[in-house]
Chains A and B, each alone.
Chain A
């Protein structure tokens, strides 16, 4: 290894990046934009669900019941209709996502001490939102039921209304949201997105840099030169690696400043593991760029290999426990999951080396393995 040669390649690469102004600005802009767009864009808060009502009873009690929904911040009232078919049209057109049908004799039956049934129709296109909405509907109806039942018991058993209310609702759950007390989507998403962005951007830069030389033939200069394989790889990747390290810091600041996420862990530890992660993902890019010969193919392959697994099989969108077995296997064979644990551990949980060392070791192994494979796959005498 000759340091001077590494330096020469790195300097050449750096000049090349600088001269392609669009590419250079993109290298910094893309990660920032990705974080902003996805951080604000993917929200798991389910609120303001638009809904409409068909009230066939139009009584005091039915209006009372309806107001439980109208007053809730989870629902947003879009008016009432006269016929059930109108609800179908509204649902099909995505004007509303939830419809409520209150039958006639609603008040009459309830006051007579009989049960009655309402119909709630939920748009199930996005199952997560449908499930959460269903939970809200049940909660409102259960709460209304508790009051009805308490009134009834108070009347029939001759006890006070408060006592009766305690009787019908004896247990309740007090949830405590650890690590994210206010249950803010942006805290988890924004910090988690560091994992996603740093999974996509570094390999993308790398493949474009290396495959460009392959596609326009300038790599033959390297093949013909005295520079060794290792020197070329190190020198070539150094500028991209540095850009990604700067991006770590930029993204980190954005998560804290723009998304108000807390950082409870050790900054030095987190920076070190982030650099390790960037080494891993740059290695993925390196491996890809030795496998393909055209830039389009390289970019596509990078998207395939990085985006989907990091988005879906890392624990970012859904917990690992609810993945299928094959998907879990894929998650463990990929660095994203380990880095996501390190990220949430550092940002939200305030954990350090003691609790997270296993993930760091996994990343180290991954980085080592990737670079060795990439090194072995790069030949100065390509078979054509």
Chain B
């Protein structure tokens, strides 16, 4: 008897899941949009966006016109900087800077070479367009390094300490290594971060929309009078949308990110999909909660947008915890995305296994269960 009942329970679940999938299948615009998110959108984010110094345009006002000044200009080379020529006066150069046509003006003073040869310290002035913050930070760092190296080489050569003799000088050689992304390919970071954001949005939006649509059209009343329990009404929505999302993640990972950007999967792909499933489950709980407090899709989408922003902000994707004010750092514990980001980058780029990620996994499981039960509870309360 009880076996029969379990079978019946699962049969009802299966019927409901198929119903949800059919309903999704019949909204072609929505299907196209989901496909777009997991392919073109991730591709565009990974392909176009670079937050690295690349082709930063600059002009030079060279008051010296010497061999040394030319050598210095030559040190600012591609691909970091893009030399746009020399200008005679500050006025016209600043105009270019105002219009955003160049990003920096390098000012080389009179007697530059003379002072260098005399061993007098020289200051170069570099005017930077700081309206774009990331760029200004990178430009000032790079140029300080370039100029420092230029000056040191210049002096050492003059002192007769050529490159071969450098070994006999007390210097610390910095052998740096960048882990996990040795060539600092922006497309890896950008495409993964975009994928995780898309998963977050859709796993909240799709179940919430599926649930509230029934309310809006009144079909929920039909479901209520059917032998289905509230769990059997809600869970199939989550499962159906979860299936679609996980399938789409696989397409995105193997069909877009690997062929186009060669994003590595250092860890176990199975673990990545398991973690993704757990995450989709957790966030769809938020979606159900939203659906339970709103009456129509307009409200749902507003609330999704409202909630997704802090989730993304507190995830550490754009601003790592150490760069946050102390209060916000603790608030990160309630953003499910922060655990997912840690594990997503951990598995894909760092090759981390469960021994390293267990605490994030535990955190997400606990948080996810709480959120999900809250969503179900709220919905049950309402629909009685």
Contact = CB atoms under 8 A, between A and B. Distances in A.
A323 B48 CA distance: 5
Interface in B142-200: 142-145, 147-152, 154-156, 159, 166-182, 184-186, 188-190, 194
B260 interface: no
Contacts of B51: 127-128, 317-318, 322
Interface in B25-39: 27, 29-30, 33-34, 36-37
Given A188-B132, A321-B55, A169 B152 contact: yes
Interface footprint category on A: 35 or more
Contacts of A48: 322-323
B103 A29 contact: no
B309 interface: yes
Interface stretch (B223-231, B313-321, B367-375): B313-321
B302 A348 contact: no
A30 B305 contact: yes
Contact of A170 (B121, B179, B309, B312): B121
B352 A92 contact: yes
A121 B177 contact: yes
B381 interface: no
A123 interface: yes
B124 interface: yes
A322 to B, nearest CB: 4
B41 interface: yes
A70 interface: no
Contacts of B173: 115-118
The 10 closest A-B pairs by CB, nearest first: A327-B48, A41-B313, A135-B141, A177-B130, A180-B130, A124-B181, A171-B151, A124-B178, A295-B297, A127-B184
Interface string B109-140: 00000011001111111111111111111111
B309 A38 contact: yes
B301 to A, nearest CB: 4
Interface string A88-131: 01011110010000000000011111111111111111111111
18 contacts: A111-B170, A117-B173, A121-B177, A125-B349, A127-B185, A130-B178, A170-B155, A179-B130, A180-B130, A183-B136, A188-B130, A292-B29, A294-B27, A296-B209, A300-B33, A316-B132, A319-B132, A321-B82
A318 B176 contact: no
B286 interface: no
Among B126, B131, B166, which residue has the most Cβ atoms of chain A within 10 A? B131
B16 interface: no
Contacts of B365: none
A23 B298 contact: yes
A308 B45 contact: yes
Contact of B182 (A91, A124, A134, A312): A124
Query: Chain B's interface: helix, strand, loop or mixed, by majority?
Result: helix
B310 interface: yes
Contacts of B142: 135
A303 interface: yes
B30 A294 contact: yes
A141 interface: yes
A14 to B, nearest CB: 15
A220 interface: no
Given A42-B313, A124-B180, A170-B120, 19 more contacts: A46-B323, A92-B346, A122-B178, A124-B178, A124-B181, A131-B184, A139-B148, A152-B170, A172-B148, A176-B127, A179-B129, A187-B133, A215-B297, A294-B29, A296-B27, A296-B297, A301-B29, A323-B50, A355-B99
Given A173-B147, A180-B133, A294-B29, A115 B318 contact: no
